[in-house]
Structure 1
Amino acid sequence: MNIEYLADHKELIPTLARWFYEEWAYLHPERTYADVEHLITERAQTNKIPVALVAFEGNELLGTVCLKVHDMDTRLDLTPWLAGLYIAAPRRKQGIGATLVSAIEKKAHELGVKTLYLYTPESETFYARHGWHVKERTEYHGCPVTIMEKQIVL
């Protein structure tokens, strides 16, 4: 598996936008597909937040993850965030997510991040297995979510 910057694979932005829109539109009902595509385009950088990574096996796109300044408009006091971890449905449960999380944590460390946050409606157990801790349980856009945090020390 290879992990590279989205900045080097901008042709993937429409695919990622479709994945994200189909998976998480319920959390942001005000966003259009075009809005999602624009937000992903902003992540096509290499040395500052927001930044996204993509995972490949050969030419097959396996998944993505990113760092964002903010991910919940209700928690602007917390920054930065791990966000957008998405693995192609047929390739889930194969360790790709864990590899991407580790890679983005390393990138966060390179950028001087000390504490990283995320929120998840359903993957708390996955993140807990990788050293993340529950900060709080709350509701976001009408959905129950768990905010988690991790001290970034490699």
Structure 2
Amino acid sequence: MKQPLIVEGANIISLFCRLSVHMKKNLPLRPSEIGLLIYTVKSETPVTPIMAANYFKVSKPMIAGMVKQLSATGYLTKTPSEHDRRSYTLTPTASAKALTEEVYDEYFKDMRRLLSGMGEKKFQDMLHLLAEANTLLLEKENE
């Protein structure tokens, strides 16, 4: 008996998420924290918590929790803003840069594998459809 399309879609997306989010074992941080470190290390401009929240499409309190953890473990420091004492930028430490260098290739390995296996056209089509789906889900979330 064929599954309803919604159930089939949920199963396919669930499997994709599980397969594409695997990370190196024994890392000292969660994947979301690794993502924030990569963002701060690779950014060409100083990153604020609001910039990070907007980039990852999450709440500022969620970023604040990650910043607290990453600061406590020596991966980020908060650098006060020269213009607004209430604001600060996230400065990655040498430990953050070393960890980012270590995990960066692993973090994007699955995307390179998909690009290679699917070809550029199909990969771009997949990204376009996922971006459209994200937009629809974010609209619903913000209602």
TM-score, scaled relative to structure 1: 0.25
Give the number of the structure whose residues are more often strand, by fraction.
1
